[in-house]
Amino acid sequence: MLEEYINEFIEYIKNHRGHSGFTQVNYRHDLLQFDNFLRTHFPGGIESPKEIKPYTIRAFLAGFRESGYKASSIERKVASLRAFFKFLYVKGLIDLNPARYVVVPRKERTLPGFLDYSQIESAITNIRGDTAEIYRDLVIFELLYATGIRLRELSGLRTSDIFLPRMVLRVMGKGAKERMAHFGEPAKFALERYLEHRKELLKGKADSGILLLNRRGEPLSPRGVEYIVKKHMSKIPGARTNPHAFRHSFATHLLSRGAPLLEIKELLGHSSLSTTQRYIHLQLEQLKDTHKRTHPRG
């Protein structure tokens, strides 16, 4: 019913909006789910997207609520539908965006988890050896913590994105937004050693230019990076094993040492300050602890 329009929309966000392949896959998945819903509930078919009403979308989303989907998952589906129908509206194929009038369920508000510096230091110290894979693992840990880089940004880094003398790397973030991320001497040292041994992983294969390689000489996938992080972090008692915890730790540790929130926003590549403000929870906890320890009636 909508597959032709969906394909056209995916081509549009790929070529004109700069959305990542991951975002394209998610949008396509959500929209094809909606298309399947229409085929199931409207066997006779719909002749035009104009026939789709807000209550049609609400009925589609109700199934996910009843199945116990998280509010965040439903919110993503609403976002996909809004973007899709906005595309159709701009092209003049519909008179209004039916998804615009759908209320998004309240998203669960959770505080970002982070690691203690001692846990990060212990994990890095425990990565020992003299192989290309060990040096690669050290680079993963050093860059995750030194730059606050996202998992997919890290796996997508190319050797040409690394500027060792200046100790910066070029990161392609969400929405194809480019930023420069800074790192210190420990990460520089780890990169130097890995780049010296990286060819050992290639094993004579053609070089793709991707910085991180697996043992077969192929680009290391986000899932591969996640596996490596979990493998090493599982050895640290009580530590979180999700790679995203390093991004939260990067922001939290900067904030606790007095870095301005606006500057942390830029370092993280956030488009909205409200996203960065989640990290202010640490300062609030510290204030509560200080009050409890020092106030006569704390």
- What residues are labeled active site? 150, 174, 244, 247, 270, 279
| Phi, then psi, of 166 in degrees rounded to 5 | -90, -10
- Continuous H helices in the chain: 3-15, 21-41, 54-66, 71-90, 117-125, 132-147, 151-155, 185-197, 199-202, 222-233, 244-256, 261-268, 273-276, 281-294
Distance CA 101, CA 94 (A): 14
**How many residues are present in the chain?**
298
**Residue 171 forms beta bridges with which residues?**
179
| Phi, then psi, of 240 in degrees rounded to 5 | -70, 145
**Residue 213 forms beta bridges with which residues?**
219
Taking the CB of residue 206, how many other CB atoms lie within 10 A of it? 7
Are 112 and 278 within 8 A, CB to CB?
yes
> Which single residue is written with the structure tokens 């100790």?
167
Q: Are strands 168-172 and 178-182 parallel, antiparallel or unpaired?
A: antiparallel
Task: Give the torsion through C-alpha atoms of 249, 252, 253, 255, to 10 deg.
Answer: 160
Question: Going by C-beta distance under 8 Å and a sequence separation of 6 or more, which residues neighbour residue 197?
Answer: 131, 132, 135
Distance CA 290, CA 49 (A): 58
Distance CA 167, CA 233 (A): 26
